[in-house]
Amino acid sequence: SQLSTILRGLVIKNTGSWYLVKTDEGTYVECKIKGNFRLKGIRSTNPVAVGDHVQIILNQEGTAFINEIEDRKNYIIRRSSNLSKQSHILAANLDQCMLVVTVNYPETSTTFIDRFLASAEAYRVPVNIIFNKADAYNEDELRYLNGLINLYTTIGYPCFKISAKTGEGVDTIKEKLKGKITLFSGHSGVGKSTLINAILPELDIKTGAISAYHNKGMHTTTFSEMFPVPGDGYIIDTPGIKGFGTFDMEEEEIGHYFPEIFKASADCRYNNCTHRHEPGCAVREAVEQHYISESRYASYLNMLEDKEEGKYRAAY
Ligand code: GDP
Ligand code: ZN
């Protein structure tokens, strides 16, 4: 009708059949998308995602439709399966990611961490590494943990040592969430739900209850939600986002997503050096001189091997 209103807002919930949009005026509107709605260039079963800035049309009858999606600075997708070309967008416009890891109970491998970091680089999402369960470690584990913090801080990833259980360090994390859309990731068991509970006690998400809630008759494959945090930030903890895919990385690209390897590779003799056996490889030299850590180099080779074998292995 002619008497409709156009508003701008942020998509904060996607149920698979409708979207919850928080308008710039601060109101909440349930929106549908038009049947013929397609986002240029992207084939998706679900073209709108949490984090999208959208324009909506409010009709007089009280119905609302998403009319336009603003350009995204980034987005993460999930394929329905490895074989399927179908994919859907899980979240858009992420400002950062909090990767929650543990050095024990259970141990998060450096291979996993490095894969995650490399794929986040490819998606241009900055990552903070949260080392959780600091209360539970013995001296050896703490020494190893501090070594990892030293390693990843030097490369450029902010690191935090916390205990979601005792609350140590949690305020620092809360501070980092202000004004940003943050994705929480990590293996199950590392204490992600406990940490989110500590950040949002008023939400009262009992440990493990987020996923139970998600499974309650919703379109579980597309459901996603952002939770507001004090200071105008949002957090996303969607089951199914365990990492970013690495499937679309070219072999010669992988080194670009290891910042210290990329930096060293400027001095390799060959332009297309894969940093394995080539003579005059500055990366291997840097590993020998301990400027690049062996675990990082091993993760790099590991990703390269997977790529060669044509394997798709997600970051988890
Ligand atoms: P999630 O699978 O990552 O969501 O992990 P949960 O939050 O469910 O936690 C898994 C287990 O680790 C639970 O038994 C928690 O009580 C425990 N846990 C979580 N955070 C900490 C922590 O900081 N210290 C210790 N000691 N245990 C923790
Ligand atoms: Zn090289």
Domain range holding 117?
94-236
CB of 93 within 6 A of ligand 1: the answer is: no
User: Going by CA atoms, what residue is nearest to atom 6 of ligand 1?
Assistant: 191
285/220 same-domain check: no
Q: What is the pLDDT of residue 58?
A: 93
Single out the residue in 174, 208, 236 at which a domain terminates. Answer: 236
Q: What is the pLDDT of residue 143?
A: 98
Count the domains in the chain: 3
Single out the residue in 182, 206, 236 at which a domain terminates. Answer: 236
Given the cut 0.90, state whether the ipTM is greater than it. yes
Q: Across residues 285-305, what is the average pLDDT?
A: 96
How large is the C-alpha radius of gyration of the chain?
21
41/153 same-domain check: no
For residue 285, how far is its CA from the centre of ligand 2 (angstroms)?
A: 9
Query: The CATH number of the domain where 260 resides is what?
Result: 1.10.40.50
Supply the DSSP string of 79-119, one letter for each residue.
ESSSS---EEEEEE---EEEEEE-SSSSPPPHHHHHHHHHH
For residue 116, how far is its CA from the centre of ligand 2 (angstroms)?
A: 22
Q: Compute how many other C-beta atoms are within 10 angstroms of the C-beta atom of residue 221.
A: 14
State the amino acid at position 228 in one-letter form.
Answer: P
User: Going by CA atoms, what residue is nearest to atom 10 of ligand 1?
Assistant: 189
Instruction: Give the tokens for residue 190.
Output: 């590392």
CB of 194 within 6 A of ligand 1: the answer is: yes
Region for 241 from its dihedrals, namely left if φ exceeds 0, alpha if ψ lies in -120 to 50, beta otherwise: beta
- Is 78 within a domain? no
Identify the weakest region by mean pLDDT among 109-113, 131-135, 310-314.
310-314
- Whether 225 shows a pLDDT value over 90: the answer reads no
Q: What is the pLDDT of residue 97?
A: 95
Q: Which of 105, 207, 235, 242 to mutate to test the pocket of ligand 1 (most atoms within 8 A of CB)?
A: 207
For residue 219, how far is its CA from the centre of ligand 1 (angstroms)?
A: 28
Query: The CATH number of the domain where 160 resides is what?
Result: 3.40.50.300
- Is 220 within a domain? yes
Return the ligand 1 atom nearest residue 136 CA.
Answer: 26
Query: How far is residue 68's CA from residue 71's CA, in Å, rounded to a whole number?
Result: 10
Give strand pairing partners of 236: 183, 226
Classify burial at 248, counting beta carbons within 10 Å of its beta carbon; exposed 0-12, middle 13-18, buried 19 or more.
exposed
117/43 same-domain check: no
Q: Which of 100, 112, 194 to mutate to test the pocket of ligand 1 (most atoms within 8 A of CB)?
A: 194
Single out the residue in 14, 42, 73 at which a domain terminates. Answer: 73
Greater confidence (30 vs 84) lies with: 30
3-state secondary structure of 11: strand
Greater confidence (30 vs 242) lies with: 30
User: Going by CA atoms, what residue is nearest to atom 27 of ligand 1?
Assistant: 133
Q: Which ligand is nearest to the CA of 281?
A: 2
- Is 84 within a domain? no
CA angle 8, 57, 76 (to 5 degrees): 55
Q: What is the pLDDT of residue 209?
A: 40
